[in-house]
Structure 1
């Protein structure tokens, strides 16, 4: 029986992985701490570890895992910017869940926009205190407005379909545009200049890191709304904070934050948040922050569990790894797979 351990495990993870584990011949242990150089020693004796987006899988962590016998890191998420692929190459295979439920993320993005625009969160709090005043709750029609979508993968395209249902005009930007999609692609500059709302749906890479910064924010319409349900470091948080204070940005909804690792997924309600930018953003009336929950639907959690186990099964059977990724995949877009359809 193959031994596998999970890091950064939450109750909802156990619920859905336990639903599927009986169909696979694995011995599983769940660990609550995040995976990093300090906790990697806990994986000694296991053949594979299952990790998450906020784990720190740097060179030191990978070396400790490798020395302890780990040969596979199975990411139970689509994101992989927290993995040092060069350090892993030739030692530890890395697989991921590329598409668990793009509808979950796209729908959450629209839910955040509607909530902020129509002040639903403020109205909810008021009426619970028997305050039925409408003062300060005015929003705007989405119909006829221009939505700029950065990233036109599965999630981005589903979000575009949702926006079209509201009668919005769509501008798209992608480093690798899908020319036959029928989407109206423009430059990043034009998208920033013309959009009333901008939503981010792209991966975090060297090219996209801090793509929303002081310069691009200044290009945008005064009062623009920003949506980020992708990766926190796509936005320079300090620049965004100042742009909101200066009223260049009219509102922001964030399901991710570039320094979220220490905070998100944890109950810190009894503690002082020592991140001034995060604290400042949360305190603003025109900002909504959720704790990286866009993926959190029954369908998505079920798919994550099933695909993760299928990835593990492929590895232990010695067959090709359909969802493997390495530094050559991320850097060049293509990887010369071995005859076993693996990265090395």
Structure 2
């Protein structure tokens, strides 16, 4: 059986597949047009976030049995098309939870102490000691929207720092750490709000103009979840008005980012969707997706 890997994974993951007897072709950077031409030859495809496994790709893959996504979200895989063809879709939701949670926490510190802005000031040859008076995380309230693996890891770390943690999730879900509450309660009481939810029709623009109006004045917003769960135009207005003191974003409505208007505001810092980009997280993701694809194909034989 043949497997194509179109986004790089850890070499240990590739070894797991070759040791299992599969023929593996690594083609990072392959164009959508090239993928369409060669996908009929393969029994499985492994991607990260760059490759889009569209309905067109899935339908062209006449031998395709498994789609593996080395990561959490499945935004780049047409799951309905895969289901219609009876193709199994597997991912690695556990692999990068700590990596993303640590980035969210790091962005909280960066906003609280204006670390990027202070660094930029020094780079420009200035010594503006009095310009960067920050706040402590200790004693503040962190509102976490979404108590899955990443939200849980962040809650653990926030509690260790002496923060109070409020958690909002779907009805009936009891968070492992933190105090459950309604979304309106979380918005009203939180000094920091961090999102850890998928983008769905229900969560699209969850934080919109109305939601920002319900927040405590001076709140800090963190998004390491998915672009689209925050209305970026409404966030821009909320920062300009002073309702939101700062925001740190790792994800955006359109990626790669083309509209940099938010970054015209000095209170906004960001990263280019690097939440899962750690050596440890990517190694775990590569190994886990290889094991899952191997097992799925062995079961399909």
Output the TM-score relative to the length of structure 2: 0.90
Cα distance in 1 between the residues matched to 2:12 and 2:120: 33
Q: Which consecutive unaligned segments of at least 5 residues does structure 1 have?
A: 265-274, 321-344
C-alpha contact (below 8 Å) 2:71/2:96 kept by paired residues: no
Q: Which consecutive unaligned segments of at least 5 residues does structure 2 have?
A: none
Cα distance in 1 between the residues matched to 2:230 and 2:32: 25
Matching residue of 1:247: 242
Matching residue of 1:73: 67
Matching residue of 1:183: 178
Aligned CA distance change for structure 1 residues 86 and 149 (closer, same or farther; 3 Å): same
The answer as to 2:275 corresponding to 1:294 is: yes
Aligned CA distance change for structure 1 residues 19 and 252 (closer, same or farther; 3 Å): farther
The answer as to 2:79 corresponding to 1:85 is: yes
Structure 1 residue 151 displacement after superposition: 0.6
Structure 1 residue 32 displacement after superposition: 3.3
Matching residue of 1:59: 55
Report how many aligned residue pairs link the two structures.
300
Matching residue of 1:329: none
Q: Identify which range, 182-191 or 22-31, moves more after superposition.
A: 22-31
The answer as to 2:285 corresponding to 1:285 is: no
Q: Per-residue CA shift, 1:137-162, capped at 9, x if unaligned?
A: 11111111111000111211110111
Cα distance in 2 between the residues matched to 1:309 and 1:17: 5
Q: Identify which range, 162-171 or 176-185, moves more after superposition.
A: 176-185
User: Which of 283, 301, 306 matches 2:287?
Assistant: 306
Cα distance in 2 between the residues matched to 1:292 and 1:16: 24
Structure 1 residue 282 displacement after superposition: 2.3
Structure 1 residue 225 displacement after superposition: 0.7
Q: Which has the higher contact order (CA 8 A, sep 6+)?
A: 2
Structure 1 residue 222 displacement after superposition: 1.8
SS in 2 for 1:148: strand
How do 1:261-276 residues align onto structure 2 when only pairs under 5 Å count?
Answer: 263=256, 275-276=258-259
SS in 2 for 1:232: coil
Aligned CA distance change for structure 1 residues 303 and 286 (closer, same or farther; 3 Å): same
Structure 1 residue 286 displacement after superposition: 1.0
Matching residue of 1:47: 43
Matching residue of 1:26: 22
Aligned CA distance change for structure 1 residues 202 and 128 (closer, same or farther; 3 Å): same
C-alpha contact (below 8 Å) 2:100/2:275 kept by paired residues: yes
Aligned CA distance change for structure 1 residues 84 and 101 (closer, same or farther; 3 Å): closer
SS in 1 for 2:75: coil
Cα distance in 2 between the residues matched to 1:102 and 1:163: 15
Cα distance in 2 between the residues matched to 1:33 and 1:97: 21
RMSD (Å), alpha carbons: 2.4
C-alpha contact (below 8 Å) 2:111/2:220 kept by paired residues: no
The answer as to 2:182 corresponding to 1:201 is: no
Output the TM-score relative to the length of structure 1: 0.80
How do 1:112-131 residues align onto structure 2 when only pairs under 5 Å count?
Answer: 112-131=107-126
